[in-house]
Amino acid sequence: MSGTYDILIIGGGPGGYVTAIRSAQLGFKTALIEREHLGGICLNWGCIPTKALLRSAEIYHYATHAKDYGLTLNGSMGFDIADIVKRSRGVSSQLNGGVGFLLKKNKVDVIWGEATITKPGEVMVKASTKSVAGPPIDAPKGALATGPYTAKNIIVATGARPRALPGIEPDKKLIWTYFEAMVPQAMPKSLLVMGSGAIGIEFASFYRTMCADVTVVEVMPQILPVEDAEIAALARKRFEKQGIKILTGAKVTAVAKGSDSVTATIIDEKGATQSITADRMISAVGVVGNIEGLGLEALGVKMDRGCIVTDGLGNTNIPGIFAIGDVAGPPMLAHKAEHEGVICIEGIKGLHVHPMDKLKIPGCTYCHPQIASVGLTEAKAKDAGYELKVGRFPFMGNGKAIALGEPDGLVKTIFDAKTGKLLGAHMIGAEVTELIQGFVVAMGLETTEEELMHTVFPHPTLSEMMHESVLDAYGRAIHM
């Protein structure tokens, strides 16, 4: 393995490995440095395994509601949390191996260890002493190649880790991050979730479906703070109907640990205090970029609020050093990291690329019901000075949704009244994480309301609601 490359990428998560593959496709001699897991947090401890857990919960939900579909299941219904976790870990392991295969297929060298950028164009690699979540799944013994490596271009793709609040640090036993929440040794009877972003809400949804008593505490006035307020309000109603207790405008100020439980002191926006005791607590108050130990400060790489400052093409203020993904700032999403990496490497190649437009990055939350969005919320569109046309169509008006037994939900679209430009789309309901891409494509193509109105949507599908929502924005809805 030679020590000189065209491109060195630090971090093997979605951003890093996708960038490495695209780099090799463009003819660059490429190496990827990873300290722990190919696929990063997303594949091993985030996006993928949580979806496996939520799939088990979804099937359990439908099985326990079989009578709603005219079905009778003989025997008792139950679950084994160990088997659910085992399936989830198996899914991650399978895909982890797939990433290794793709890198090998594309002739990308994988260097195992921790990287430090000693100067522009040079990276020192040493044996890894840090472990985010346990021993590597895929790093073979003896695979480490220590020493200096050189490359004209170095791309930092080191991702992020759970944020910890002072005095409420996770301890792996009673206070969990998403690492521990994904592999419970036993199902807690009660759970307190601190934070109602995508991570917190997905775990709240999973554990509630699996019969735990769940309370969510959110410091902001609404749950899912980045989502449209109308969608978040509908989500809250659905969650509370399922039995999830929700406290907004509230803050956990202290936690007392018992032998097998935690008691949290919570203060609401009016200053009233209450205590909640639960078997376990999940800290889901966001993530922070992995910028430490890389040598960035000594090189003078510009930082802002724990993230590396970049332009729309991944350039930092130091020539030859680039950053992509979570470490380059929000939105901290795997698909953003992947696209950002492709833009970065194609820019290095000298291809004509469009800078990242963060307004066109969709967000998805895989709770029950699902939530998906792209673009501006109604409030942000108003704040930006737009005159709006807003369309809404409820799941109750859609034949496919009723046939599926999923009549609760809403598709909401927001247009610029002057130009017909689609400013944002927001959804809650069954399978909306699959539907949202239609609006993402429309925004990317700068589609107007007229073109969407004249698009033929198949029947019967959930996607028809997208069409009806557009029609409703202009007073032309057919089925409402």
Residues annotated as catalytic are 459
Which run of H or of E encompasses 243? Answer: none
Q: How far apart are CA 215 and CA 248, in angstroms?
A: 11
In angstroms, how far apart are the furthest CA atoms of the chain? 67
Nearest to 296 by CA among 116, 109, 161: 116
Burial class (CB in 10 A: 0-12, 13-18, 19+), 276: middle
- Asked if residue 188 lies in contact with residue 212, where contact means CB atoms within 8 angstroms, the answer is yes
Place of tokens 């991650």: 92
Q: Coil, strand or helix: which one is 283?
A: strand
Give the amino acid at 288.
Answer: V
Nearest to 132 by CA among 37, 202, 15, 43: 37
Q: How far apart are CA 159 and CA 291, in angstroms?
A: 9
Place of tokens 């019969």: 211
Place of tokens 């000594």: 298
Q: How far apart are CA 220 and CA 249, in angstroms?
A: 5
> Partners of 422 in the beta sheet?
415
Question: What is the DSSP-derived secondary structure letter of residue 358?
Answer: G
Question: What is the DSSP-derived secondary structure letter of residue 405?
Answer: T
- Asked if residue 310 lies in contact with residue 296, where contact means CB atoms within 8 angstroms, the answer is no
Nearest to 399 by CA among 457, 465, 453: 465
Please list, in sequence order, all residues whose beta carbon lies within 8 angstroms of the beta carbon of residue 5, skipping any fewer than 6 positions away.
Answer: 28, 29, 30, 31, 109, 149, 150, 151
